[in-house]
Amino acid sequence: MQSLKSFALLIFLAVLAVACTPIQPPVETPIDDMGDTAGLTYAQPGPYAAGYMPVTVGGESERPLAAGLWYPALNPDGSEPAITYEVITKMAEMESDSPAIVYGKALADAAIDTGTAPYPLVVFSHGFGLNAATYHSLPEHYASHGFVVLAPEHMDSDWFEGIESSIGRPEDIKRTLDFAETLSAAGGKLAGLIDMDNVAVVGHSYGGYTALAAAGALFDFDALNERCAQLAEDDPKMFLCAPLLGKATELAERAGLDSVPEDLWPPIGDARVTAIIPMAGDAYMFSDEGLANITVPIMAIGGTADTGAPFDWGSEPSYDYAASTQKSLVGLEGAEHMIVASPCEENPWLAGSPLAEYLCGDPAWDKQQALDLVHHFSTAFLLDTLRGDVDAHAALLPAAAQFPAVDYRTTMQ
C-alpha cells in the first residue's frame, strides 16, 4: 500500500474494529475540566513576529532536500501575520495536480530581527508521509519566542517500506545541521545569527523517532522481535512492527554496516543535538537499553489514547528509559495521535476528506486548547534548555505545571 502511516493505520484499525478491543478507548472531552488556564504563560506568542521562507538543504547535491525556515522577524508595519503555505502532498490517496493549501500565521520573506541574535536552533521533523506545514503552529510559535526553526521535508510515503526512512531521516537531520552551520557562517544568509551550540530536535510520530535517534537512541533487533512476538496477530500494535520485522539485514546494509549487530546497534545520532522533544514518538523501535543511551534533556509529549504511537510504546518509554538528568513527560489524557497538528480550519485541503477527522481533529480535545498546552510546555522547555531562561525553568517545576487532564511527570527541581 502506497500510503502514509496514519492512513494505513486507519485502514488497519477499521478492519480490526469488530474483532478486537481498541488500544485505549476515547474519554469524555477532558477540556471541560481544564478550568483556569492562566498559568499557560508560554502558550502566548512571543515578542517577535515569525518570518518564513522556503530553503533547500544540500543545494545542488544529488539529493536536495526541501525545507522550511522560520525565524524571529521584523514587522515594522505591525501587519497581522498571515501566510498561505502551498504543500505538495506525499500520500498517494491525496495526490492532486495543484498544491494543498494550509493557512498559517507568519510573514513571508520578512527581514530577520538581528537585535538579540544569535538564536538557538530547532530542527522540526514532521510525521511519516506528512509535511512540516501540517504542524505550522509549532515552528511559528517557536520563532516568535526567539528560535530559528528548520524543518526538512522527509521524502517518505510507504509505511511498509520503512527501511529508507529509518536511516534516511537521521541523515536528513545531520544534513540540516550542516546546512544551518553554512547559513550561519561568514557570508551565509544568516551569518552569525544561529547559535549552533544550542540545538534541539522536535518531532512528531516518526519525527519523534527521528528526534530520539538524533539524540543517540540505539536499535536492538532482538528486543524488537521479542516485543512484537508477544502480540496477538490481531493486535493493532502489529501494524507498528511491520516496517522492520524480518528486515534486519536490509536495515544494516542501508546503515552501511558489514553485518547485523548482535546486540545494540551503533548510534545514528548527531552530537550537535543538545535537547529533544519527541511528540508521540515511535520509541518502541528502540530497546529500553537503547533509549538509555539518550542523555540530553528530553520532554516527551503524547496523547494517552494514541492509536498511532500508543502511549505505552511511545511517549511513556521515552520518558521512563532515557538516562537524561532532566526529563519530563506531558500526557494529554484521552488525546489521539494527531493532537499536535494544526486545526482543520487551517487545512482547507482536507475538507470533505475521510482523513480530516484523524489528521486535524481529535475525539476528546478542543484542538486549539490542546495546542495551547503543547505550546506552553514545549516552548518553556526550549527556553529553559537552549537559552537558560530561569522563568521558563520555574514554569516546568512540578508545583507550577499541574493542569487538569494532563499527566505531568518530571525530574526537574
For the record, the C-alpha cell of 68 comes out as 522550511
CA distance 224 to 286: 7
Kindly state the DSSP code that residue 343 receives in the 8-state scheme.
P
Q: Is 172 helix (H, G, I), strand (E, B) or coil?
A: helix
Round to whole Å and give the CA distance between 357 and 7: 11
Among 403, 379, 402, residue whose Cα is nearest residue 391 = 379
Q: How far apart are CA 266 and CA 73, in angstroms?
A: 40
Query: 300: which residues sit within 8 A by CB, 6+ positions away?
Result: 277, 278, 279, 281, 283, 314, 315, 316, 318, 319, 327, 328, 329, 330
Beta strand pairing call for 83-87 and 107-108? unpaired
The whole-number pLDDT of residue 2 equals 35
Asked if omega into 118 is within 30° of 0 (cis), the reply is yes
The CA-CA-CA angle for residues 272, 277, 281, to 5°, reads: 115
Whole-angstrom distance, CA of residue 212 vs CA of residue 226: 21
The answer as to CATH 3.40.50.1820 being correct for domain 5-410 is: yes
Alpha-carbon gap, residue 236 to 268, rounded angstroms: 28
Query: What's the confidence (pLDDT) of residue 92?
Result: 61
> pTM of this prediction?
0.93
Rounded Cα distance, 281 and 202, in Å:
10
Please report the pLDDT score of residue 355 as a whole number. Answer: 81
- Sign (positive or negative) of CA dihedral 31, 36, 40, 45: positive
Q: How far is CA 314 from CA 39, 295, 411, in A?
A: 27, 18, 19
What's the grid cell of residue 211? 528526534
Strand partners, 68: 54, 151
Task: Report the C-alpha gap between 88 and 181 in whole angstroms.
Answer: 27
Could you tell me if 65 and 153 are in contact, meaning their C-beta atoms sit under 8 angstroms apart? yes
Residue 299 CA to residue 317 CA, distance in Å, equals: 12
For 228, phi and psi rounded to 5 degrees? -75, -30
The Cα-based distances of 220 to 109, 114, 238, 294 in angstroms read 44, 45, 17, 14
Give the distance between the most distant pair of CA atoms in the chain: 61
DSSP class of residue 13?
Answer: H
What are the beta bridge partners of residue 170? none
C-alpha cell at 174: 545531520
3-state secondary structure of 365: coil
Tens of pLDDT along the chain (413 residues)? Answer: 334 555 454 443 333 332 232 334 444 445 555 555 567 999 999 999 999 999 999 866 667 899 999 999 999 999 999 999 998 887 666 666 678 899 999 999 999 999 999 999 999 999 998 999 999 999 999 999 999 999 999 988 788 888 899 999 999 999 999 999 999 999 999 999 999 999 999 999 999 999 999 999 999 988 888 999 999 988 989 999 988 888 999 999 999 999 999 889 999 999 999 999 999 999 999 999 999 999 999 999 999 999 999 999 999 999 999 999 999 999 999 999 999 999 999 999 888 888 888 899 999 999 999 999 999 999 999 999 999 999 999 999 999 999 999 999 999 99
Q: Are 383 and 389 in contact (CB under 8 A)?
A: yes
How many angstroms separate the CA atoms of 192 and 381, rounded?
24
pLDDT at 35: 52
Phi, psi for residue 161 in degrees, rounded to 5: -125, 60
Per-residue pLDDT, 36 = 53
The Cα–Cα gap between 332 and 372 comes to: 12
Grid cell, residue 288, equals: 529500553
Residues 229, 222: Cα–Cα separation, whole Å: 10
**pLDDT score of 21:** 29
- Return the H-helix or E-strand segment holding 227: helix 221-229
Quote the pLDDT of residue 25: 42
